[in-house]
Structure 1
Amino acid sequence: MIAFFLLRSSVAITWCNDEDVIEIRPGMIETRTILSNHRLCISGSVVIKSDKPFEAEYQEYNRYSDAYKDLSLEKEGKRQNIFVLGSYYFDVKMSIKAVNELEDIQISVMGVTPSFENDPKASDGYSESFGVFTSFKSFDCTVTLPSISRLIVTAINQVPLKFTVKHPDDVELRINANGQEDATTGNNVRLILYNKGETIQHP
């Protein structure tokens, strides 16, 4: 399972006390037993696995409101047995419970970052970013890297990833895994490719 990039969160959920909310960050895995007539309260974007049917009640808050002071509620709802719940553009809060509230259930959640694409015109006009979330073991992605430009790839995965990168001589490569420079294997890998010459296509 592979995911790219990050998400922040910091707002209370109406059905949960602040101290009960667990923040799930990308790459983080949490397994809990939810007792009968209880809920698991979390924030973040997650993949959810359960041994019994469950219901997730969620809220999405706009984190681009004025200076992060009052994050406004944009959307709320309920979903049963959903595989991925979250958003790159909003702070997501949720409570999870068994469909049959008389049963105990075991829930595992893994923090991920959903797919996204930013419009460079909406930012500084000089950068464009996108993210890919997938449950595939591997996939191909080709990116055209213009002259005098930089490509940054951040990969987060439950199972350690190993990157082997082939690039022309005029493309500078920096790689960082789990915070260690020049390491190529880890759960959190960051690649930076800087094209100093002609426009190239980089797989």
Structure 2
Amino acid sequence: MHFFHSFVAWWQGQSIIELAGVITGLLCVYLAAINNIWNWPLAIISVVLYIFIFYDARLYADMGLQVYFLGTNIYGWYYWSRRPKTAVKVPVAWITRKEIVWSVIAMLVVTPVLGYTLITLAPVLHYQPAAFPYLDSFCTACSIVSQIFLARKVLQTWLIWIFVDVIYVGVYIVKDLQPTAFMYAVYVLIAILGFVDWRKDYKKQIAK
């Protein structure tokens, strides 16, 4: 009974916007893992909510990332809707050497540039100092790359998401965003399932 009352008190203290973002976020990632195109409209709702959530938490790189996600979610919805008429699902692709090289370059460039920008712009624009500017920027760089791969249905997107989501769990716990930390912990599990499911589809494709 004590646990129940504690849970109710905790629940009542949470932001409605954050809880809505968690619910839509979990649903969209699950639908993506099972190759359902309706993950994209739910993802659009979730990222719009998280623009406001991350602004309040002073996670400015994450806030900007949501704007980027908004664009890629619209693109992903369009790309997945253009699957071949004879295909039930969009075919799964294997990452190329060129994509790996460009991904590493993007991460190495975006992380220090964005981290430095967050630090230097805060006093100029009269913002509160960014929390974890370089770690946040690294996760943002990884997410930018992985989101492109998700939209293009590249199998290895799930491996990047597993890595970055584990880091995000720790960041959001420290920032007292428990529902969001829980959501990202679930994301890790869904990403594992997504990788397993997409790999099965890929093996079926190359066996034909």
TM-score tier after normalising by the smaller chain length: under 0.3
Greater fraction helix: 2
Larger gyration radius, structure 1 or structure 2 = 1
Q: Normalised by the size of structure 1, how large is the TM-score?
A: 0.25
Q: Normalised by the size of structure 2, how large is the TM-score?
A: 0.24
Greater fraction strand: 1
